[in-house]
Amino acid sequence: MSLVYVGVLSHAPGITGRADLVKNVAVRNEFYEKLDQQRQEIETAKPDALVVVAAEHFANFFMSNMPAFCIGIGAQHTGPIEDPQWLKIPATTVPGHADLGRRLCTEIMQSVDLAYAEEWKLDHGIMVPLHFLTPRYDLPVIPVNINCQGPPLTPLHRAWAFGQALKRACAAVPERVAVVGTGGISHWPATPDSGKINAKWDLEFLHRLGRADKKALLSYTDEATYREGGQGAFEIRTYIAAAAAAGGPLRLQFYTEKLPIFAVGCTVGRFDIR
């Protein structure tokens, strides 16, 4: 078993970019502490690479050619695409793992039609997690995107299949691989409703992850998700892929809806790997 860590965490540009506007400083600091704990857990697992399963935000792809899944197999990646002053994360180059990425891609393609990219621009969806999880940018990163943004969206059951394929691919390589899924649950980012969070809906989704309840996780329709969780909730695909990769239940380490300035409920969790 070369899968040594699987977890989830929220991403949003406000988590770094609007940190100084937070009124609820104690909760913000607790969130940051949990992210640092996640960093420590990943480091303790001694991975050779970190696979970040994220959501496309038009950093690399547009509706001219939108893959359902894509993996970054370049030797390095650059980011953020956003104004560094706005995101409050300096522009940097992040090491990739071209050889491992290519082997994972090859294996995943046995069961899932996966696009690949040797050039990858990192946006806040990956840069914010990396800012907390590998702040020195010294851990090779293999980015993965799922189309959670531009309908027709990647079906949930395909996100699950992708996670299972990722698990099989990791088992076929000698390297130690850590995986995080990163997305929001309910949120309405970058719209007039930015800051709205449906905590009840979020917690129900997290409970389903906590039960490793595949049937319940895959039962959401896009219509209901949009109605209850906003367009940002389409990013549950990243959590579902991580759940399938882990195979075990989520142990929720942190959740709050009390940082709406971040425009997302803030989640940190780790899966049991089975």
Partner 1 sequence: MRGLRQASNSPDGRGLVSLYQLQKFLYALNRDEASKRRCRDNIHELLNDFDLSDEERTALIEGDIGLLYVLGVNGQILMHFAAFLGIEWFDYLELMRQGIRKHGPVRAGVYAMTGGGERFTAEERAR
Q: From the list 18, 103, 168, 176, which residue makes contact with partner 1 (rule: CB under 8 A)?
A: 18
DSSP state of 154: P
In the bound state with partner 1, the residue whose beta carbon lies nearer, of 157 and 211, is 157
Task: Tell me, by CB under 8 A, how many residues bind partner 1.
Answer: 38
Q: From the list 90, 93, 190, 204, which residue makes contact with partner 1 (rule: CB under 8 A)?
A: 190
Verify binding: residue 44, partner 1, rule CB under 8 A. no
Helices (DSSP H) in the chain: which residue ranges?
A: 14-17, 25-44, 84-87, 98-108, 124-133, 156-171, 199-210, 214-217, 222-229, 236-246
CB of residue 155 vs partner 1: minimum separation in angstroms? 13
DSSP state of 155: P
Verify binding: residue 57, partner 1, rule CB under 8 A. yes
In the bound state with partner 1, the residue whose beta carbon lies nearer, of 12 and 112, is 12
Burial code (b: 16+ CB inside 10 Å, e: under 16) for 46-58 equals: ebbbbbbbbbbbe
CB of residue 230 vs partner 1: minimum separation in angstroms? 6
β-strand pairing of 69-72 with 3-9: unpaired
Phi, psi of 136, deg, nearest 5? -90, 0
Q: Going residue by residue from 214 to 233, which x/- string records binding to partner 1, judged by CB under 8 A?
A: --------xx--xx--xx--
Verify binding: residue 266, partner 1, rule CB under 8 A. no
Cα(179)–Cα(241) distance, rounded to whole angstroms? 10
Tokens 């010294």 correspond to 138
Cα(150)–Cα(175) distance, rounded to whole angstroms? 34
Q: How far is CA 252 from CA 40, 105, 256, in A?
A: 16, 29, 11
Q: Which of residues 82-141 bind partner 1 (CB under 8 A)?
A: 82-83, 86, 121
With CB under 8 A as the contact rule, which of the stretches 32-40, 132-140, 189-197, 204-212 interacts with partner 1?
A: 189-197
CB of residue 237 vs partner 1: minimum separation in angstroms? 15
Verify binding: residue 204, partner 1, rule CB under 8 A. no
In the bound state with partner 1, the residue whose beta carbon lies nearer, of 22 and 268, is 22
Q: From the list 188, 220, 255, 271, which residue makes contact with partner 1 (rule: CB under 8 A)?
A: 188
Query: 243, 212 in Cβ contact below 8 A?
Result: yes
Write out the residues near partner 1 by the rule CB under 8 A: 17-18, 21-24, 57-59, 62-64, 81-83, 86, 121, 149-151, 188-197, 222-223, 226-227, 230-231, 260-261
